[in-house]
Structure 1
Amino acid sequence: MDLLSPEKIWCMTDSELSKLLHSHMLLPKPRRIHFYAPSFMYYRTEYFCSSSRDFPTISVTGKMCALKCKHCNGKVLETMHSAATSEKLYNLCRKLKNRGALGCLISGGCSPDGSVPIDKFINAIKKVKKDFGLTIFVHVGIINFERAERLKEAGVDAALIDVIGADETIKEICNLDATVGDYEASLRALSDAGVNTVPHIIVGLHYGKLKGELYALKIISRYNPAAVVVIAFMPIRGTPMEGIKPPSPIDIAKVAALARLMFPGKPITLGCMRPKGKYRIETDILAIKAGVNAIAFPTEEAIKFAEENGYEINFSSFCCSRIYLDIAR
């Protein structure tokens, strides 16, 4: 890997990248992989079945989102539990705990400035941590130091943040009057506050094409993330981008390979948002060849591939962002 550079991988043709992936240069040592299937969606293979209770998602804005990004249009929020007040959040977490939940992802729609309006819920989160001991991940959006510091004081286990590396994508896709610099400032705020941070890179967010992913990874590399999650644009029915072709499996693998090269000591995960069907089978296998340490909702074919190639396999019902804890065990 010493002869490789991020720029070299970024400029590779599909055939050149395919050759690199088949060389096994990027594979982790020892060969160990974690597969995650949280409660976000139903998942069943001959190897593992998800639980509807273990790790659900909660929206603190219900179905509301001021930005209505072209790729999502608020549709993802419709799949989450709603808790629009701090009291509702606490009561919902108590109910989830009583049902056997291990933790939850707290998210929500964005305010016009790109932040998730989490402020009024932070005291409730602190009480949830104290009373129920749940693992709490928070999807934060753009964030300042004061809010990051409060999340740290509340005992949040990790902050998840989508990092976009092109100003055009932020404006055109996310309908947001912000810049790449605002995302870097958010990473700095979380780092300075001492919050475990798991940045997400969305491959192909710019109308299914690669744009800014390498720069986003370069920004992330300045702030010592706990882990890096690679996800990918997937067309969602009812959104302005439902007819856009998603990024190819080889493009997704390219970004996974970049992450592996640029973060040799950090866990890399292929996250839950990525194209389905035949795309997913190929994507998952290529991601393993690119050296990822974890995959959320892996295809059965990917599990078999890992098994046949001598990987030690672990399954979990947590969110894949937990890899930064699990890989150390």
Structure 2
Amino acid sequence: MGNWKELALEVLDGKELSNQEAVEILNSPDEELLELLHGSYIIRHHYFGNKVKLNKIINAKSGMCPENCGYCSQSSISNAPIEKYRMVDKDSIVAGAKQAYDSKVGTYCIVASGRGPSDKEIDTVIEAVKEIKQDYPLTLCACLGILKPEQAARLKEAGVDRYNHNINTSANHYEQITTSHTYADRVNTVMTAKEAGISPCSGVIIGMRETEKDIVDMAFSLKALDADSIPVNFLNAIDGTPLEKTAELEPRYCLKVLALMRYVNPTKEIRISGGREVNLRSLQPLGLYPANSLFLGDYLTTEGQDSSADHQMLKDLGFEIDIKLPEASL
């Protein structure tokens, strides 16, 4: 390929990448990496300028999950020494929202382990969401597992803006990662959220012994799903999980994956998510040329980079934090 700027301009004119072009991005020589990132930045800047969306997670329910996802320290087959607790109370979720807002975060993500939420857990989330919406101009995202249509409708009515349910990997590779639910279950939950009028968020985990074809399939599957937000996680292999000691990623390849996601999904929020610190390492800032979103602070059971370092990184890049302002200050 080589002419990544020309391809970017074609994408802006409405071109959709072919599978072959997508593979060429992943296989592009390192000598072309800066050109590839420049091309992806042309697309990113066209739709998002130099703004970066910040996201923050609260792990509202940890561990004790009956699913057997091979990457997850909270799964039934994990021996990882993590903290385990049932759904926190409403006040704890609201307090997390205040911390997020004080950190200039725009999207606050309420995450709970498990196959899917009980009605009581939905009640707790709804109570918290209503209070948060009164006090903070945050985009609220819920990530609670497989969702029933009536639960989705209640979350929408309460004020939940976005629902996250990652496809995680390709349909072809799915049974190598988990067998306690199917790829179709994941897709159906994303569709359930969309049908309720909630913005769909769905992403991937790279580095789970998948092939390049699997990664390309993920990018096009997310395009077909029309996910508004696409978190790109890079496996942080946790001891005690089936994927422990898996270390197959290097920073330049991670950047090519982010570029691929931008070329295939040009108008979408591409978020650098879990595992960026251990996989992108010193090249983290370059990831924000294709991506326009970032998780701030800690993840579910692993620590993230210090928030002050992320704020400094954005300042050094000359990027602007994209955050809603209270109506009174508009």
2:207 is matched with which residue? Answer: 204
1:127 is aligned to 2:94 = no
Distance 1:6 1:307 in 2: 36
Alignment equivalent of 1:26, drawn from 17, 37, 40: 40
Alignment equivalent of 1:227, drawn from 229, 232, 238: 229
Relative to 1, partners in 2 of residues 1:227 and 1:100: Cα closer, same or farther, differing over 3 Å?
closer
Alignment equivalent of 1:265, drawn from 257, 264, 267: 267
Q: Secondary structure at the match of 2:120?
A: helix
Name the aligned partner's letter for residue 150 of structure 2: E
More helix by share: 2
Counterpart contact for 2:111–2:142, Cα < 8 Å: yes
TM-score by length of 1: 0.71
Name the aligned partner's letter for residue 29 of structure 1: H
Counterpart contact for 2:164–2:190, Cα < 8 Å: no
Instruction: Report sequence identity in percent.
Output: 19
Relative to 1, partners in 2 of residues 1:15 and 1:261: Cα closer, same or farther, differing over 3 Å?
closer
Distance 2:118 2:149 in 1: 13
Distance 1:6 1:201 in 2: 20
2:4 is matched with which residue? Answer: none
Counterpart contact for 1:138–1:159, Cα < 8 Å: yes
1:47 is matched with which residue? Answer: none
Distance 1:18 1:228 in 2: 27
Relative to 1, partners in 2 of residues 1:153 and 1:118: Cα closer, same or farther, differing over 3 Å?
farther
Q: Secondary structure at the match of 1:29?
A: helix
Counterpart contact for 1:73–1:239, Cα < 8 Å: yes
1:252 is matched with which residue? Answer: 254
Give the drift of 1:120: 2.5
Distance 2:30 2:151 in 1: 41
Distance 2:31 2:161 in 1: 37
Q: Secondary structure at the match of 2:203?
A: strand
Counterpart contact for 1:230–1:269, Cα < 8 Å: yes
Aligned residues: 286
Name the aligned partner's letter for residue 39 of structure 2: M
Distance 1:6 1:325 in 2: 36
Alignment equivalent of 1:312, drawn from 303, 310, 318: 318
Relative to 1, partners in 2 of residues 1:100 and 1:79: Cα closer, same or farther, differing over 3 Å?
same
Name the aligned partner's letter for residue 295 of structure 1: L
Relative to 1, partners in 2 of residues 1:175 and 1:262: Cα closer, same or farther, differing over 3 Å?
same
Relative to 1, partners in 2 of residues 1:217 and 1:142: Cα closer, same or farther, differing over 3 Å?
farther
Relative to 1, partners in 2 of residues 1:259 and 1:68: Cα closer, same or farther, differing over 3 Å?
same
1:281 is matched with which residue? Answer: 282
- State the Cα RMSD in Å: 3.7
Distance 1:222 1:208 in 2: 20
Q: What whole-Å deviation, never above 9, does each CA across 1:191-229 have from its counterpart, x for those lacking one?
A: 111102221221122x36545232233222234333222
Give the drift of 1:151: 1.9
1:164 is matched with which residue? Answer: 168
Task: Extract unaligned runs of 5+ from structure 1.
Answer: 39-54, 316-322
Alignment equivalent of 1:152, drawn from 153, 156, 165: 156
Relative to 1, partners in 2 of residues 1:4 and 1:188: Cα closer, same or farther, differing over 3 Å?
closer
Distance 1:302 1:246 in 2: 25
Distance 1:37 1:217 in 2: 21
